[in-house]
Amino acid sequence: MKQRYARCAGIVLAASMVSGCQAWRLEQQGIDFRHGLLNIYTEQVLDNLIRARRCEPFIQLEITELFAQEFDEIGVTGSFGETVTDARTLLLSGASSNQAARSLATAWSVGGNSKRQGTLNFKAKPITDRDAIYDAYITFANDPNSFKCGPSRPDKKDFHEGTLRHRDGLYYWVPKDAREQYRALFLRTTFQHESRGMTGFYAVRIEQVIELESTDEGDSTTQVIVFDRKVPAGEAILVVEKDGKTARIPLFMALDQEGVKFGDKTDRLEAEYSPAKRGLDLKDYKGRNARLYSADFPPEADSLLAIVESVESAANSLDRIQAAQPR
């Protein structure tokens, strides 16, 4: 009887070992879920950079409503049996007694199986109302110091970990020196574009607009915008008004500044846009005051001034709207 209890306990123990520790599994699922989401966004960023470099169409997807499910199926089987064998020997020739023997054979087994199935569901919505995201990709992909391409695989010391990709016989990678710019691009195009409002800005004046490259059709131009004061080197939005119209132009770190690193103070940033599509040319805004919203380095000392000027700007806009209404 004791043996039978021990065998039943063994079956229960086997079942518990198959199921594992629930708390530990939940923790691992959370970690794996987070890593999976980061991998999805990483592949999107790198694929968009490659497509932008190759002048191919690309699209940024906003992933929402993430939902993960996991199902476990566990089965345990066991069997127990005893076999009794009787043997009797008859002695016929003068035997005083007969002989009998009994043998007992016991057999038992335990088996188990488990199966786990997991699914990750999400909704992906194309972003179509934020031109700055696509401008950032194009600028970064075509900057030879930020994104490189070549037929030979680079040494491990030359590329930022996790950014090397191979496509159609060519290697694409982000050099280690551009890892901070890559991180800023990653966060701004995936997570930060809705989290930071345009509340603090640098009050600047456009001193000079230098034409670097343009097309005859006016569908693309690259210009260096020189300001009357120094601002952080990096991506920004320039907001300037003229004749009752407000222009918002994406700005990026100018490439012709030797020794200027990401975040350093500089008096010039670079703009790449389409005058034909936007209906304006920044050369016509020379000498005008503007607001510069830095994506990575919002102002600190100017924060109070920024708030005051924001209120004044809103009030002026309201006055213009009221003046345009028919009486």
133-151, pLDDT tens digit by residue?
Answer: 888 899 899 988 889 999 9
Please check whether residues 170 and 295 belong to one and the same domain.
Answer: no
Please check whether residues 240 and 298 belong to one and the same domain.
Answer: yes
The two tokens of residue 322 are 């009221």
If you average pLDDT over each of 105-119, 143-157, 273-287, 289-303, which comes out highest?
143-157
Query: Does residue 240 form part of some domain?
Result: yes
Q: Quick one: how far is CA 78 from the chain centroid?
A: 48
H helices of 174-283, in order, are 179-190, 275-278
Query: Does residue 232 form part of some domain?
Result: yes
pTM > 0.75: yes or no: no
DSSP-derived secondary structure for 106-163: EEEEEEEEEEEEEEEEEEEEE--S-HHHHHHHHHHHT-TTTSEEESSPPPGGGB-TT-
Please provide the average confidence, as pLDDT, over all residues in the chain: 75
Res. 323: pLDDT tops 80: no
Please check whether residues 251 and 144 belong to one and the same domain.
Answer: no
Res. 1: pLDDT tops 60: no
In angstroms, the Cα distances linking 57 to 10, 47, 128, 137 are: 62, 11, 13, 12
pLDDT digits (tens, 9 = 90+) for 202-251: 999 999 999 887 766 556 788 999 999 999 998 889 988 888 778 888 89
pLDDT, residue 315, reads 58
Question: For residues 194 and 133, what is the distance between their CA atoms, to the nearest angstrom?
Answer: 11
Please check whether residues 224 and 165 belong to one and the same domain.
Answer: no
Question: For residues 77 and 3, what is the distance between their CA atoms, to the nearest angstrom?
Answer: 18
What CATH number has the domain bearing residue 286?
Answer: 2.40.30
Query: DSSP secondary-structure letter at 175?
Result: B
pLDDT digits (tens, 9 = 90+) for 301-315: 444 455 555 555 555
Determine the structural domain holding residue 61 and report its residue range. 2-71+117-190
